[in-house]
């Protein structure tokens, strides 16, 4: 029965699954969090400094790099998945690592998706704030180090936004982790790939329930990050 009943039933099922702490749902949810969380943390470690670097300094060919980063922000997850798959396949260049169909392979794919977003947003924030702050700081006699510190401090809220956007993108992404993770039960099955599977099986209510859990999760994490952001703004 494909009707509104499925959605209502999905709501009840979601509550039931959450309240009963269903071990499989917990496993799936924790994997989603672990994979996307790690990908975003690694993506921030790379993306924040690179974004700041690109925003702060001019160099030859910078426009090309900027365009490249902006293009990468819109990378289709399926293409990234296929690319990582071919890379990690036993017949591929990194086949020896034996990483295909592991959570780490999923992290690598989502890292590739998350990093350009964090880089791009940081870059935009730093370069937009750059001129006025830089001039003020220099006129106040700031050194190079103090100058960079000031600019980065000024843009930290935008950086947090970049992280939020990147997390939202990877936690809801299905194309890449389906290919490189394989949606293996108890091992590489994440919320989004489980939703695809249950839809394929015709278990619509369960698929909706998993979808609600995903949305709830994203909501809670965004609330926490936004809280941090607000707190940061007040202190500043």
Partner 1 sequence: MRRGITVLIAVLAATTILLSSILVYQWTTKPEKDLILATTTSTYDSGLLDYMLPVFEEKYNVKVRVLSVGTGQALEIASRGDADVVLVHSPETERLYVDSGDLIHRVPIMYNDFIVVGPPDDPANIEGLSNVTEAFIRIAEAGEAGEIVFFSRGDDSGTHKKELSIWDMAGINPSGKSWYLETGQGMGNTLIATNEGFSGKSGYTLTDRGTWLSMKNSLDNLVVLVEGDPILINPYSGLLVNPEKHPEVNFDLARKLIEYFISDYGQQRIANFTVGGEQLFIPCYGNAPDAWGTEEEEQAAYEYWGQPEFDPPSGFFVVLEETSIPEFKRDIKDGKSKIILFYSILR
> Tokens in use for 196?
């695809």
Nearest-angstrom CA–CA distance, 29 and 106: 14
Angle 142-147-153 from CA coordinates, rounded to 5°: 130
Q: Is 142 in the site for partner 1 (CB under 8 A)?
A: no
> Tokens in use for 47?
């993306």
Binding mask 154-193 for partner 1 (x = CB under 8 A): ----------------------------xxxxxx------
Q: Which of 195, 146, 210, 173 is nearest to 84 (CA)?
A: 173
For CA atoms 31, 20, 185, 207, give the dihedral sign: negative
Q: Is 23 in the site for partner 1 (CB under 8 A)?
A: yes
Query: Residue from 11, 12, 15, 57 that binds partner 1 (CB under 8 A)?
Result: 57
Least distance between partner 1 and beta carbon 106 (Å) = 12
What residues numbered 206-235 form the site for partner 1, per CB under 8 A? Answer: 206
SS3 60: coil
Q: Which is nearer to partner 1, 141 or 202 (CB)?
A: 202
Q: Is 153 in the site for partner 1 (CB under 8 A)?
A: no
Query: Residue from 9, 18, 37, 53 that binds partner 1 (CB under 8 A)?
Result: 53
Q: Which is nearer to partner 1, 75 or 203 (CB)?
A: 203
SS3 183: coil
Q: Is 133 in the site for partner 1 (CB under 8 A)?
A: no
Q: Is 78 in the site for partner 1 (CB under 8 A)?
A: no
Query: Residue from 75, 78, 82, 104 that binds partner 1 (CB under 8 A)?
Result: 104
What is the DSSP track for 61-111? THHHHHHHHHHHTT--HHHHHHHHHHHHSTTSTTGGG--TTSHHHHHHHHH
Nearest-angstrom CA–CA distance, 155 and 52: 9
Nearest-angstrom CA–CA distance, 219 and 190: 17
Least distance between partner 1 and beta carbon 234 (Å) = 28
Query: Residue from 7, 8, 30, 224 that binds partner 1 (CB under 8 A)?
Result: 30
Binding site for partner 1 (CB under 8 A): 1-2, 22-27, 30-31, 34, 42, 45-46, 49-50, 52-53, 56-57, 89-92, 95-102, 104, 144-145, 148, 182-187, 197-204, 206
């Amino acid at each position: 029965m494909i009707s509104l009943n499925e959605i209502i039933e999905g709501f009840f099922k979601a509550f039931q699954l959450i309240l009963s702490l269903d071990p499989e749902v917990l496993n799936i949810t924790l994997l989603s969090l672990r994979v996307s969380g790690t990908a975003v943390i690694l993506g921030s470690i790379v993306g924040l400094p690179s974004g700041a670097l690109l925003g702060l300094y001019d160099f030859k060919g910078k426009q090309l790099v900027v365009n490249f980063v902006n293009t990468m922000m819109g990378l289709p997850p399926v293409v990234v998945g296929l690319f990582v798959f071919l890379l990690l396949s036993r017949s591929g260049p990194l086949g020896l690592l034996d990483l295909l169909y592991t959570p780490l392979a999923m992290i690598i794919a989502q890292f590739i998706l998350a990093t350009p977003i964090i880089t791009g947003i940081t870059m935009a924030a730093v370069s937009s704030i750059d001129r006025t702050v830089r001039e003020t700081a220099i006129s106040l006699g700031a050194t190079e180090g103090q100058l960079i510190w000031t600019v980065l401090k000024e843009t930290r809220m935008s950086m947090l936004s970049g992280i939020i956007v990147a997390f939202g993108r990877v936690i809801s992404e299905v194309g890449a982790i389906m290919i490189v993770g394989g949606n293996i039960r108890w091992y590489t099955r994440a919320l989004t790939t489980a939703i695809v599977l249950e839809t394929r099986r015709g278990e619509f209510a369960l698929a909706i329930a998993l979808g609600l859990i995903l949305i709830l999760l994203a909501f809670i994490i965004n609330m926490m990050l936004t809280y941090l952001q607000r707190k940061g703004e007040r202190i500043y």
